[in-house]
Homo-oligomer: A and B are copies of this chain.
Amino acid sequence: MLEKFFPKDFNFFDFFDKEMSYAEEACDLFKGIAAKGEVGTEDREKMREIEHSGDKMAYAIIEHLNKTFITPFDREDIHTLAKKLDDVNDMLNTIVSRMKVYKIKEPNKLLIEFSEIIEKAVCALGVAVRGLRDTKHMNKVVEACKQVSAYESEGDKLRDNALGWLVDNEKDPIEFIKWKEIYQEAETVLDICKVVGHVVETILVKQA
C-alpha cells in the first residue's frame, strides 16, 4: 500500500554512488592530464562527457526528489548533496577547458601536486558518500569527512605557495594571469569537496 512512497525503481543511495563515480572518473582524467601537461582533443571530449553525465545524474536525483514523498534523509540535504557533488565535475571541466584555451603544453609541478591532493580528497569523499547507505559504520564516514577537510587545508597552503611562486618568478604577465586562474580553480575543487563533506556531516548529525 505504501509502495508508491517507496518506488522500487529508485534508490537515492544508488544514484549518489553513481554521481560519486563520475566525480572519481573526472578526477582520474584530470590527474592524467596534469601529468601529461597537455589537454588532448580526446581528453577534452571525455571530460565534457563526464561533466554532462554528472549533470544529468544530479538533475535525475533532484527530479525524483521532487516526485518522492518519503526520502532516506532530509530533502534539502539530498538537494544540496546532488548539486555540490556535481560542482566537483563542473570545476574540473572548467580547469581542463582553460588549460586547452590557454594552450598549456608542459607539465607543471604545482598543478601535478594539486591533482594529487584532489585525488586524495575525492577518494575520501567516496568513502563518505558511499558510507551514508549503512548507518552502522558511521565512524568511518566521520573520519573520511575529517580527511577531506584536512586535504582542503593542504590545498590552501599549496595555493599560497603557488601564488607566491608566481609573484617571485613569473615575469610574463599573461602567463601570470593564466596560472593564477588555474591554481585558484584547482584550490576551488578542494573547497567544493569540503562543502560536500560538510553536507554529509549534516546528514549524520540529523540521524544521530
Contact = CB atoms under 8 A, between A and B. Distances in A.
Nearest to A176: B174
Nearest to A163: B101
B102 A163 contact: yes
A103 interface: yes
Interface residues of A, number: 26
Nearest to A74: B66
A62 B195 CA distance: 14
A92 to B, nearest CB: 15
A177 B198 CA distance: 33
A107 B56 CA distance: 38
Contacts of A59: 198
Interface of A: 59, 62-63, 66-67, 97-98, 100-103, 160, 163-164, 167, 173-174, 176-178, 180, 198, 202, 205-206, 208
